[in-house]
Amino acid sequence: MTVTAIVYTDAGITTYDDLAAAKAARGTTWIRADDPTPDELAAVRDACGIHPLAVEDVENGVRPKTEEFDTHTFLLVTDARFRSGETTFDQELDTRPVGLFVGEDWLVSLTYDDVHAIGAVREAIDREDARILGRGPDFTAYRVLDRIVDDYFALLDDIEDRIEAIEGEIVDAARSDLLDDINDVRRELLAVRKLLWPTRDAVSGFARGDPPEVRAETEKYYRDVYDHVVQQVDLVETYRDLASSSRDIYLNALSQSTNEVMKRLTVVATIVLPLTFVVGVYGMNFETMPELGWPYAYHATLLGMGLLSLILVWYFREQDWL
């Protein structure tokens, strides 16, 4: 895309082409850099004194963090959403790093992908409430951060729905590939957990008001975001327990089903065993076996084998084995 710069004053919003002039202008400045070219990025760094290593952190998508510099505070967070998997998985967590550089009266947002939170806040400023910028760059950064964190709830809601569906299938009739779905959910929860834990640590500094750019009246908003992240971390741990429980229930159900099959096979083998014994005895072809000369020996043997089978079947039914 491109780099845009707007400045809010009591007279309204003014757009600047010169980044240095925008930063030096009276009011609150927001420089939005969405997928900038190397030349545009260099202009942003020169205008605001942004350290190249901080820019590299955004480019490389390192874990969320907070870092204080002489003239500003750098907050790196991650926008996340599920997308169709490009590998063997049905869906994967798509993460998009967002760099927020909060100065005394200016804010720089740096992204290399389309981030819904930044677009939503900018639309709110353009169409509804330009006073968002008037409340300071720290409050504008809070609005972006709040949108990003709120989107995490959508991820967790999606995972919760999948866990409930899996639990329902386990109770009704477990599919043979249900274990793959359970493992996919556990993998997604692990990815979200790796995202939320450093985000909690990164936001905690702003919630305490550690950066000098965060004013006292804005701390409570960051504390609210911090509470949301803590709640999300708790939900992830709860869902991980549910997913593990679902896996254990599935494996127990599978084991029970296997035991039922083995029990029935054992019943069949038990019924066949005495019949095999009778057939084996009279198949030895000894000449002195008295029953061989009886004209009704064959019919009596079949009748006895049938009665024995019926008695065993009746017994197993009484024991609830059949």
Instruction: Give me the CATH number covering residue 305.
Output: 1.20.58.340
Last residue of a domain, one of 207, 227, 254: 254
Confidence of residue 49 (pLDDT cuts 50, 70, 90): very high
| Residue pair 219/208 in contact by the 8 Å Cβ criterion | yes
* Same domain (yes/no): 107, 242: yes
* Same domain (yes/no): 136, 19: yes
Last residue of a domain, one of 254, 283, 306: 254
Confidence of residue 303 (pLDDT cuts 50, 70, 90): confident
**DSSP assignment of 194-216:** HHHHHHHHHHHHHHHT-STTS-H
Last residue of a domain, one of 254, 283, 309: 254
End-to-end Cα spacing for the chain: 70
| Residue pair 124/114 in contact by the 8 Å Cβ criterion | no
d(CA 263, CA 194): 45
pLDDT at 257 over 80: no
* Same domain (yes/no): 243, 281: no
Q: What is the pLDDT of residue 82?
A: 85
d(CA 216, CA 213): 10
Average pLDDT over residues 209-236: 94
Per-residue pLDDT tens digits for 268-279:
787 788 878 877
Q: Does the predicted TM-score (pTM) go above 0.85?
A: no
* Same domain (yes/no): 44, 88: yes
Question: Across all residues in the chain, what is the average pLDDT?
Answer: 86
Three-class SS state of 279:
helix
Q: What is the pLDDT of residue 180?
A: 84
* Same domain (yes/no): 92, 125: yes
Q: What is the pLDDT of residue 174?
A: 60
pLDDT at 305 over 90: no
* Same domain (yes/no): 181, 222: yes
* Same domain (yes/no): 246, 262: no
Confidence of residue 251 (pLDDT cuts 50, 70, 90): confident
pLDDT at 189 over 80: yes
* Same domain (yes/no): 56, 173: yes
CATH number of the domain enclosing 69 = 3.30.460.20
* Same domain (yes/no): 164, 266: no
Q: Is the dihedral of CA 182, 186, 191, 193 positive or negative?
A: positive
* Same domain (yes/no): 203, 144: yes
Q: What percent of the chain has pLDDT over 90?
A: 52
Please give the residue range of the domain that contains residue 230.
Answer: 3-254
Per-residue pLDDT tens digits for 128-179:
777 888 899 999 999 999 999 999 999 999 999 999 888 888 766 666 678 8
Contacts of 151 (CB under 8 A, 6+ apart): 79, 80, 81, 116, 117
Which CA distances in Å does 96 have to 66, 123, 148, 320? 17, 20, 10, 59
Q: What is the pLDDT of residue 261?
A: 74
* Same domain (yes/no): 295, 221: no
Q: What is the pLDDT of residue 51?
A: 93
Q: What is the pLDDT of residue 255?
A: 76
* Same domain (yes/no): 16, 147: yes
Confidence of residue 73 (pLDDT cuts 50, 70, 90): very high
Q: What is the pLDDT of residue 277?
A: 80
Residue type, 75: L
| Total structural domains within the chain | 2
Residue type, 321: W
